[in-house]
Amino acid sequence: MWWHQHNLCFRHPIEEDYSGELEKKVATITETDESTESEGVIDSHKRREILSRRPSYRKILNELSSDVPGVPKIEEEKSEGEGTPPNIATMAVPTSIYQTSTGQYIAIAQGGTIQISNPGSDGVQGLQALTMTNSGAPPPGAAIVQYAAQSADGTQQFFVPGSQVVVQAATGDMPTYQIRAPTTALPQGVVMAASPGSLHSPQQLAEEATRKRELRLMKNREAAKECRRRKKEYVKCLESRVAVLEVQNKKLIEELETLKDICSPKTD
């Protein structure tokens, strides 16, 4: 974070202990002893314990917000069942089987199930079922593949194992599908897919594990971004609170001095 003041720039280590210092400052100004972190050397394990037991930024900020009018609250995320995620589409397509240029088969079943068979697999064996869904709980054993609602060229893409995408190349009565490299760098949504029970070969299991890991990493990446955003907001909130409390403190001191003068007039 950059702090610009009279053409001088000051930097604050936003991600480290700055918020902790602010918390101490707020605690000092409000004359509470909530902040119990000692100044001495704390070994990393104890420090981790202390930090990890701290309530989340959202909770703290919302508590602060309820105290300080004008400070916006961080909205609680809606539960997943509420409403339709904007990026998840329902596939209402006729039951069809398509063959790709690489020899893979894609079967679009009624109800939106997409099945992919790899070259060399004999028919049903080796099929991977991709069940498109708008909402509701995933079926037992279901895994998640990545899905982008629309690519740059206006087509729909369904991310499948092996860093490939199933692309809906045209809409209408007879949509066409292709398997090709993704045209968008980042997937924007998810669909439910591929029960592990349908995976047989070690290669498929490895692909499944890789896919799960990539999905987990992607989610964690987004979570980290969101967490950092919340932390920044929290720090801003603390800063404004410090400013408000300092003004209040100053006023109270001045008031106290005034009252002292009134109550104890000089005898000279």
Partner DNA sequence: TCGTGAGATCGTCATACTAC
Partner DNA sequence: GTAGTATGACGATCTCACGA
Closer to DNA by Cβ: residue 73 or 219: 219
What is the DSSP track for 58-113?
HHHHHHHHHHSTTPPPPPPPPPTTSS--TT--------EEEE-TTS-EEEE-TTSE
Closer to DNA by Cβ: residue 46 or 250: 46
**Cα pseudo-dihedral 224, 225, 228, 229, rounded to 10:** -150
Closer to DNA by Cβ: residue 48 or 73: 48
Min dist CB 14 to DNA, Å, is 5
Min dist CB 168 to DNA, Å, is 26
Closer to DNA by Cβ: residue 123 or 140: 140
Min dist CB 129 to DNA, Å, is 17
Min dist CB 235 to DNA, Å, is 10
Token pair listed for 36: 């119990």
Distance CA 3, CA 9 (A): 6
Min dist CB 47 to DNA, Å, is 5
Cβ atoms of residues 176 and 98 within 8 Å: yes
Distance CA 231, CA 237 (A): 10
Closer to DNA by Cβ: residue 223 or 252: 223
> Given the rule CB under 7 A, which residues bind DNA?
1-2, 9, 11-16, 44, 47-49, 51-58, 77, 79, 217-221, 223-228, 230-231
Distance CA 68, CA 241 (A): 8
